[in-house]
Amino acid sequence: MYRTRLFFSCTILLISSMSNVLHADQLTLDEQNLKVLFLLNIVRFSEWPVLEQVTTNLNICHRDTSTSFKRALKPLEQKTVHGFNLRGITIDQNDDINDCHVLYIGSSGKLKVAEYLPQVSDNNILTVSEIGGFASRGGMVELYKEKQQIKLIINMDAVRKENIKLSSKLLKFSTVLREEEGIVK
Amino acid sequence: MSKRFAFCLLLLISCLTLQMPVCAEIILNESDGKGEKRAIDYFDLPLSDLMKMQVKSPSRRHQDLSHSPSAISVITRDEILKSPAHTIPELLQYVVGLDTFIKTYTDMDVAARGRAHDDTSRMLVMIDDQVVNVVPFGGMQWPTLPLTLDDIDRIEILRGVGIGVYTATSLAGIIQIYTIPVEKRDSLKMSLSYGEGGTSHNSLQFAKPLSENWGFAGTLHYVQTERKGDKETSEATAVAPNWKIKDWASIKGVNFRADYQSGDFDYHAYGGMTTDQEGYNASPGDHAIDRSEKETLVFSNWLHQDLANSDVINLRLGYRELWQRNERFDNNQYVFKYKVEKGDGLDIDLQYNISRFNQHSLMLGLNYVYLKASREINNISEPYVYDESDILHALYIQDQFFILDNKIQLTLGGRYDKWDNLDREFTPRLVANIFLIPGELTLRVASTTSFAQQTFDGGYYFAEFGPPNTGWFKGSTITATTNNSGEVIEGAGRGSEKMIAHELGLRWQPTPDTMVTTEYYYNKVSDVLGLVVYDTVPVGDIEIPNLGAATTDQEHIYQGVELEIQTKVSDNVSGFFNYTYQWGDDSSGNTLEFFPENKASAGVRYFNYFDFDIRARYVSEVTYSEVPSVPADSYSSVDIAISKLFANQLFAKLSAINLMDNQHYEYPIYTQITRKAMLTIKYSF
């Protein structure tokens, strides 16, 4: 038995010494980092009706998000999209959301979605969340995990209602939900 | 031993450490294939590439099947809801490689790969990561679990040792039951099931968000396994005309789940309690009637904290308790009474997941278990009392990473266990998932080690009770084996059963809706735990042996082939087929016959106006060593369920277990399994 254990351990050492070389298309990422990258791409493929007239910043507001999400969001602030500087803003209960272009709701806000969505209505704010059922509850973009990958559900009716345009480049990788028709893609 | 152990542990830790690449958070240094490093900015990755990227899974939960280091089957919530089953063992009977013997409607043995026969202590059962095996004998009392099928989100069955780091002693495998989070539950739901033989399962569930962060759910349930007196034998009527006993249990239970989430912190608690009264009159010819009362308590806490550096801390704290009292009635009097036993278990598991290193998921853990069992039998010739405890201190480590251009996923792990009553054990494990055709064909190769300790109730204690009655009681684990002069026999008795397992599996997913899995396993078990004579009791002219569970010089080899096919033909039709062929020998060359050699199951699910679930299985003959003259014949069973959900609120199901009423025994004595047709109504308010 002891010899067997020794054999196992040596085998482990041998196999472990076969150093792995990383390739870009094989990498895995921490879930929050991956969600932030998706958020960046969602912003890239979105158009707001009056963005250029009012600001030089594109504000990504977020509430009920975890520390790891906030940390993952930090590097985004060095980026520009459509010529605007990206800025991350943590939103609390009484904060003004008028300056937000995107509102990301973290999983802790799952019980308050019905309260949050009316607050951002008619403000041309793109709503994004990782909360299950977010799109079917009136949110615009829902991120969900399937087989260890991040997938998108987009509620087109909610998006159009806020006069936001989403590129077909984004839509072709998403499941599109129309409230009256159900899932069409 | 200690030097070798230390050497092995050092090797393991150092090789895992050496394997860590230095990596950043988002921007990584990559090889361009020419040996030069270049920076890849993830922010520039196109969406199409992002869609292909995998979320790194730091914990041991929710892993893609093709990446699972264990032979695994999953039963989903939808399948549970619409299947003909009303109990967990009825669900598990259709899992490949799993043997399920329903001895009575309150005594069911479930274990993988030939280990179901009174060896259920080797099959670990967990609810939300908390071990719920009862302490005195280590097995399961399925009907008295404080849980209904409506509380279950999914069941994962890991066959074989796999890579499970939960414990070193799950030789047969792990049945992991996950309960439904509060947010996914209906606010109020009532479920009523009634069927043949007086069987009924009833529950009332409620769920409520208490605040922004807190959610709470609870379930009350009542189960009657069979009506008292149904099919009562003439012998039972003669012995105890007023008891109306055949094989019945009345179980009342309550359970709860509480969820809390705030930022990076998650907490959930699950707990429950059942009280149970049951009775049993054995087959014709056995006059004795057993009655028992049980109380089962399970409580678990799970805390999860994401740290700023992407690491994760998990803490589990659980408690389990069983209290039981038995009495036996024969010839119009109590044969014995107040056979009381109690078992307690406290489980603490602290786990640190390091996920900051790209490609690696490293897990380090500490495990503390305190077990205590006691038994009192007072109204026998020699009052018999024991009160024993055992403590485990363990640490474990596991790393999962990719090599050879992501073509191989390696999972390396090992545990160090020190039970107070055993020598220390080190059990290394190695699993390679080789992606022959990524996303389609995966070869799994595993070599693992494990061990089993004696349970408290492993022995048999012979006693006289109300002479001329005599018999054996399940008794305490012995601490030493002696001859009749009381001299300790060196090297006999204490110790652990050890197993080396090799597994070879192939998972083929030709389309997203079809999965074909084959597994071959070879389990070599040495120092087999068996029964040894540690004393004899003179009864008249005969010396009756007292038997203790102890290691023997026996060696058992179990082998088997498992095939599982699951396919979704269309949106309306899905099906499964599985076949298990298993065989075994002991070191004397005898064939092991206490598990079925062949087992095949198949089922079709059809969803339309009504949902149909029809399934059938065949199990070949089994011969148990304690009743070698009465083999349990091969049998087949057809189970069916027709269900419909009305207006998203009312769910109705008509089901039948053993539809053709193919009366059979899954264990040669005890209860004959007959048809159980049931009507179920569930309403969500």
Of the given ranges (B180-194, B251-265, B523-537), which has the lowest mean pLDDT? B523-537
* Angstroms from B284 CA to nearest CA on chain A: 48
Answer for the pair B150, B201: CB distance below 8 angstroms, yes or no.
no
Q: Quick one: pLDDT at residue B253? A: 97
Q: How far apart are CA B534 and CA A130, in angstroms?
A: 62
Q: B195 pLDDT band (50/70/90 cuts)?
A: very high
Nearest CA in chain B to A78: B43
pLDDT mean over B24-34:
36
Q: Quick one: pLDDT at residue A105? A: 92
Strand pairing class (A84-90; A57-63): parallel
Of A23, A28, A65, the CB nearest to B55: A28
- Tell which wins on pLDDT, B29 or A144: A144
How much of chain A, in percent, has pLDDT values that exceed 90?
Answer: 18
Nearest CA in chain B to A10: B11
pLDDT single digits (tens) B612-664:
999 999 999 999 877 788 888 999 999 999 999 998 889 999 999 999 999 88
Contacts of B56 in chain A (CB under 8 A): 28-31
CB contact under 8 Å between A16 and B15, yes or no, is yes
Q: Can you name the residues that pair with B615 across neighbouring β-strands?
A: B603, B639
How far is the CA of B500 from the CAs of B120, B561, B600, B609, in angstroms?
Answer: 18, 17, 27, 50
Of the given ranges (B414-423, B428-437, B561-570, B665-674), which has the lowest mean pLDDT? B665-674
Specify whether the backbone of A123 is left (phi greater than 0), alpha (psi in -120 to 50) or beta: alpha
Task: Tell me which architecture the domain covering A2-184 has in CATH.
Answer: 3-Layer(aba) Sandwich (3.40)
Count CB atoms within 10 A of the CB of residue B382: 11
Strand pairing class (A149-155; B573-586): unpaired
User: By three-state DSSP, how is residue B138 classified?
Assistant: coil
* Angstroms from B49 CA to nearest CA on chain A: 7
* Angstroms from B679 CA to nearest CA on chain A: 32
Closest among B635, B631, B625 to B669, alpha carbons compared: B631
* Angstroms from A115 CA to nearest CA on chain B: 11
Q: Quick one: pLDDT at residue B645? A: 92
Nearest CA in chain A to B265: A66
Q: How far apart are CA B169 and CA B418, in angstroms?
A: 12
- Tell which wins on pLDDT, B24 or B618: B618
What is the domain partition of chain A in residue ranges? 2-184
Record the tokens describing residue B288, joined without a space: 């004795």
Count CB atoms within 10 A of the CB of residue A168: 8
pLDDT single digits (tens) A140-172:
999 988 766 888 999 999 999 998 999 888 888
pLDDT mean over B371-376:
88
- Tell which wins on pLDDT, A14 or B33: A14
ipTM of the complex: 0.73
Q: How far apart are CA B562 and CA B505, in angstroms?
A: 9
Answer for the pair B285, B236: CB distance below 8 angstroms, yes or no.
no
Amino acid of residue B188: L
Inform me whether the C-beta atom of residue B19 falls under 8 Å from chain A C-beta atoms.
yes
Res B447 pLDDT > 90: yes
Nearest CA in chain B to A33: B26
Of the given ranges (B195-199, B320-324, B617-621), which has the lowest mean pLDDT? B195-199
Nearest CA in chain A to B431: A12
Identify the CATH class of B3-684.
mainly beta
CB contact under 8 Å between B47 and A112, yes or no, is no
Q: Quick one: pLDDT at residue B10? A: 44
Contacts of B57 in chain A (CB under 8 A): 148
Residues whose CB falls within 8 Å of the CB of residue B299, separated by 6 or more in sequence, listed in order: B130, B269, B270, B271, B272, B318, B319, B320
Of B183, B263, B358, the CB nearest to A66: B263
Answer for the pair B662, B618: CB distance below 8 angstroms, yes or no.
no
Nearest CA in chain B to A36: B43
Q: Can you name the residues that pair with A107 across neighbouring β-strands?
A: none
Q: Quick one: pLDDT at residue B7? A: 45
Contacts of A12 in chain B (CB under 8 A): 11-12, 15, 412, 428, 430
Sign of CA dihedral B507, B510, B515, B518: negative
pLDDT mean over B561-570:
93
Answer for the pair B362, B353: CB distance below 8 angstroms, yes or no.
yes
Of the given ranges (A98-102, B300-304, B601-605), which has the lowest mean pLDDT? A98-102
Q: Quick one: pLDDT at residue B381? A: 67
Q: Which of B154-163, B301-310, B553-562 has the highest mean pLDDT?
A: B553-562
Computed over its alpha carbons, how large is the radius of gyration of chain B? 26
Of the given ranges (A60-74, A78-92, B452-466, B565-579), which has the lowest mean pLDDT? B452-466
Answer for the pair B446, B502: CB distance below 8 angstroms, yes or no.
yes
Count CB atoms within 10 A of the CB of residue B490: 8
Q: Quick one: pLDDT at residue B207? A: 93
Record the tokens describing residue A105, joined without a space: 């709701």
CB contact under 8 Å between A5 and B428, yes or no, is yes
Q: B2 pLDDT band (50/70/90 cuts)?
A: very low
Q: How far apart are CA B410 and CA B434, in angstroms?
A: 8
- Tell which wins on pLDDT, B290 or B268: B268
- Tell which wins on pLDDT, A130 or B382: A130
Q: Quick one: pLDDT at residue A28? A: 56
- Tell which wins on pLDDT, B377 or B616: B616
Question: pTM, whole model, 2 decimals?
Answer: 0.76
Answer for the pair B288, B318: CB distance below 8 angstroms, yes or no.
no
Of A2, A16, A64, the CB nearest to B18: A16
Which B residues, 414 through 473, put their C-beta within 8 Å of a C-beta on chain A?
A: 414, 426-430, 432, 447, 449
pLDDT mean over B555-577:
93
Answer for the pair B99, B114: CB distance below 8 angstroms, yes or no.
yes
Contacts of B4 in chain A (CB under 8 A): 2, 5-6
* Angstroms from A141 CA to nearest CA on chain B: 15
Which B residues, 577 through 636, put their C-beta within 8 Å of a C-beta on chain A?
A: none
Q: Quick one: pLDDT at residue B250? A: 93
Of the given ranges (B92-101, B156-165, B332-341, B509-518), which has the lowest mean pLDDT? B332-341
Closest among B112, B111, B172 to B140, alpha carbons compared: B111
Q: B348 pLDDT band (50/70/90 cuts)?
A: very high
Q: How far apart are CA B239 and CA B635, in angstroms?
A: 32
Q: How far apart are CA B74 and CA B155, in angstroms?
A: 6
Helix, strand, coil share of chain B (percent; to 5): 10, 55, 35
Inform me whether the C-beta atom of residue B402 falls under 8 Å from chain A C-beta atoms.
yes
pLDDT mean over B120-124:
84
Res A81 pLDDT > 50: yes
pLDDT mean over A44-70:
80
What rounded mean pLDDT belongs to chain B?
82
pLDDT mean over B439-464:
84
* Angstroms from B359 CA to nearest CA on chain A: 6
Answer for the pair B678, B656: CB distance below 8 angstroms, yes or no.
yes
